Chains A and B, each alone.
Chain A
Amino acid sequence: MSDIAIDCNGISKQYRIGEQETYRVLRDVIVETAKSPFRLLRGALTNSNGNGHAPAGSGAPSHIWALNDVSFQVQRGEVVGIIGPNGAGKSTLLKILSRITKPTRGHAVINGRVGSLLEVGTGFHPELSGRENIYLNGAILGMRKAEIDRKFDEIVAFAEVEKFIDTPVKRYSSGMYVRLAFAVAAHMETEVLVVDEVLAVGDADFQKKCLGKMGDVARHGRTVLFVSHNMQSVARLCQRALLLHQGTIKASGNTAEVMAQYLSCGLGLTTERVWEDLRTAPGNDVVRLESVRIKNAGGQTQGVFDSRHEVAIEIGYSVQQEVNDLAAEFVIYDDSGNLLFTSANQYDDDVFTLHRVGSYVTECWIPGNLLTEGTFMIRVSIVQIQVPVQTHVFEENILVFQVVDNMDGDSARGRIAHNYPGLIRPKLEWATTFNPDRDSAAS
């Protein structure tokens, strides 16, 4: 019974839509009062926000449930990953469990002190030195001064900022700043640790170090709740995972199984778009999009690809007026917004001939062993490439797909299990020669 570290019972959280507008100016209240004293009274009784922007006639503002009836238990010493697409409610759940915000309904019981790491460097002050910020940040995270004193050297060593410890952090490089901030948080000694996406900071080496530190934390019998978009780190750290989607738990259990379910059902991915009604399709009177999709070598629409396999982008469009020199092109971004490359079908012969009225389908094959693991966004455009240059279609984030690199050993990553950074992951030829005599000659 006491082995349960976190016990969530029907946690629900409701937010008003347009959350950023909820702080009011007193004038609004006065105007409302003047207009209708009864409405204000009623508003006060029902605790509505009454901001006057609600749909006409309805009176009630629109709400969304960021979390809806979420129940789960975490055993002490368990490391549980929470995965799910953006807006699934992951961060809201962590905020409730770390007592930053209150649930609208339901309750949770937590056995042990909770350390939350929703952001690195919360409360860091640029004017203060590294040393001073360690104490300040530590206190904010709920650490005792004695505890910080004891761990001070360890924190500084972990952050690798020994030389700059008495320099104001505003003079730090962003890498140093993040390292120091993470180092403080990583040395919290709470029984329960709640971590949100913070490992995605710093350079690759430091990320590896952070991941190692989180692994240590887990091995010391502390309970960790871990949110990340990085499937690799979830897979490496967590025995168990929860899949959140639209505020509810869609799956829970063994990490590999939950991840497989997440990837296979393609939550958060857009693999196909079809516009039935051409009049509302993206484009103009010359060209309109009819469909776009991502497919595999077998021609099936798919959202998650093995990094070794090729990926096809298919663009269907309708030419409404005869036009010359039309090219379809796409641009591929990773989830940090880096543009990887552009490709256009201008080398295709018939593009330079007259495009007659009718439907066209063009497809482009991205070879296997090129994309790295991660989520990718596609922007599609259809342009007239000769003067006057005209863009007929321009659609951002029209398709979203994911590439995974499993550990079979014959992808570009090979048998290397640790972080394998890079915007692309080509499998390149290596040639290695071996000369056994040279070493012995040297010694």
Chain B
Amino acid sequence: MSQSVSPTEHAFPTFRIDPPSRWTAIGFRELWEYRELLYFLTWRDIKVRYKQTVLGAAWAIIQPLFMMLVFSLFFGRLAKVPSDGIPYPVFSFCALLPWQLFAHALSESSDSLVGNQNLITKVYFPRLVVPISAVLGGVVDFAIAFVILLLLMLYFGIVPGWAIVTLPGFILLAILTALSVGLWLSALNVKYRDVRYTMNFLIQFWLFITPVAYPSSIVPVQWRALYGLNPMAGVVEGFRWALLGKSQPPGAMLWVSIVVVLLLFVGGLSYFRRMEQEFADIV
């Protein structure tokens, strides 16, 4: 284009359409402009999730509750897995909450682009909205289950200390972890449908390497920082520390987790932005 578009002559925004480029800005401003779409897509997912179910939102409680019962029976009672001096049901339920948030967000977001392909091939909007809304859709379930946790803590007489102020940070970290992995997997899934079949396995595998049923204190001290390479280890132990107060602060492990998440997140964002330019053509 030979003439330059002068921005002052009119109030309309000007868009330039160019061939795909290797590097693109993340486009936070545009994402912000589409925040209402983010809200509506999240709201749609939540609203539709328990339609035509008998138990409705009770499902948000049933899943972690039954997991907790099974864990308490087999790991806590029979296998006598240590729980850092915390009653085992609270110990495991407290870890299951961020875990469920993470697992749900991960499976939803990885399939989100393919699941919304009718939108992607027909309308323009920042594609990041799709996996982000898929991740946020799990927050309501989390909030419902959180009430149960508070009741459990009340029952066992556990009072959180000052560390509870760090809880939002850990929730954010759990969401960010899921989003980072979700960005990678959703973009990969557009091109390689294998991702879909890996999800079940990946989530199970990840559960076993995360200190949900056991405390990270059973990992030898010199290996703990390395253990933090699994960001969910930092998140889960952080949750216990913030809420239950009795275990050790996560320390080096947490810092390793934070760094890993940030790297995953930045990498995921740039991979996603690069790939999104051809989503509509290959999805």
Contacts and interface: CB of A to CB of B under 8 A. Distances in A.
A25 interface: yes
Contacts, number: 135
Interface residues of A, number: 52
B1 A100 contact: no
A110 B278 CA distance: 21
A119 interface: yes
A102 B273 CA distance: 13
Contacts of A136: 40-41, 43-44
A109 B15 contact: yes
Contact of B123 (A118, A144, A145): A118
Interface in B1-57: 1, 3, 5-6, 9-10, 12-20, 34, 36-37, 39-41, 43-44, 47-48, 51-52
Contacts of A110: 14-17
Interface in A19-45: 19, 22-27, 29
A140 B37 contact: yes
A109 B5 contact: yes
A322 interface: no
A98 interface: yes
Contact of B17 (A27, A99, A122): A99
Contacts of A109: 1, 5, 14-17
Contact of B119 (A106, A132, A140): A140
B248 interface: no
B154 interface: no
Q: Chain B's interface: helix, strand, loop or mixed, by majority?
A: mixed
B40 A24 contact: no
A128 B44 CA distance: 8
B17 A107 contact: yes
A273 interface: no
B19 A114 contact: no
A95 B280 CA distance: 9
Interface residues of B, number: 46
Interface string A1-34: 1100001010100010001001111110100000
A91 B230 CA distance: 46
Contacts of A27: 194
Name the residue among A15, A109, A127 with the largest chain B CB count within 10 angstroms. A109
Contact of A113 (B13, B122, B192): B13
B258 to A, nearest CB: 30
Contacts of B1: 7, 9, 107, 109
B79 interface: no
A381 B277 CA distance: 48
A118 B122 contact: yes
Contacts of B277: 102
B77 interface: no
A95 B122 CA distance: 8
Interface in A105-161: 105-114, 116, 118-119, 122-123, 125, 127-128, 132, 135-136, 139-142, 144-145
A101 B276 CA distance: 9
Name the residue among B16, B18, B122, B194 with the largest chain A CB count within 10 angstroms. B122
Contacts of B5: 1-2, 109, 111
Nearest to A112: B12
A194 to B, nearest CB: 10
A419 interface: no
B280 A141 contact: no
A132 B47 contact: yes
B19 A104 contact: yes
Contacts of B122: 100, 116, 118-119, 122
B193 A116 contact: no
B191 interface: yes
A25 B194 contact: yes
Nearest to B276: A102
B280 A101 contact: yes
B9 A2 contact: yes
A97 interface: yes
B194 to A, nearest CB: 4
A139 B40 contact: yes
A119 B117 CA distance: 13
Contacts of B6: 1-2
B27 to A, nearest CB: 12
B125 interface: yes
B282 interface: yes
Given A102-B277, A103-B19, A122-B123, A23 B48 contact: no
B190 interface: yes
Given A23-B191, A110-B17, 4 more contacts: A2-B6, A107-B18, A109-B15, A122-B118
5 closest A-B pairs by beta carbon, nearest first, are A112-B12, A2-B9, A99-B124, A139-B40, A108-B17
24 contacts: A1-B3, A22-B281, A23-B190, A23-B193, A23-B283, A24-B191, A95-B280, A97-B17, A100-B120, A100-B121, A102-B20, A103-B17, A103-B18, A103-B19, A104-B19, A107-B18, A112-B14, A118-B122, A122-B123, A123-B119, A127-B52, A140-B40, A142-B124, A191-B12
Interface of B: 1, 3, 5-6, 9-10, 12-20, 34, 36-37, 39-41, 43-44, 47-48, 51-52, 118-125, 190-194, 277-278, 280-283
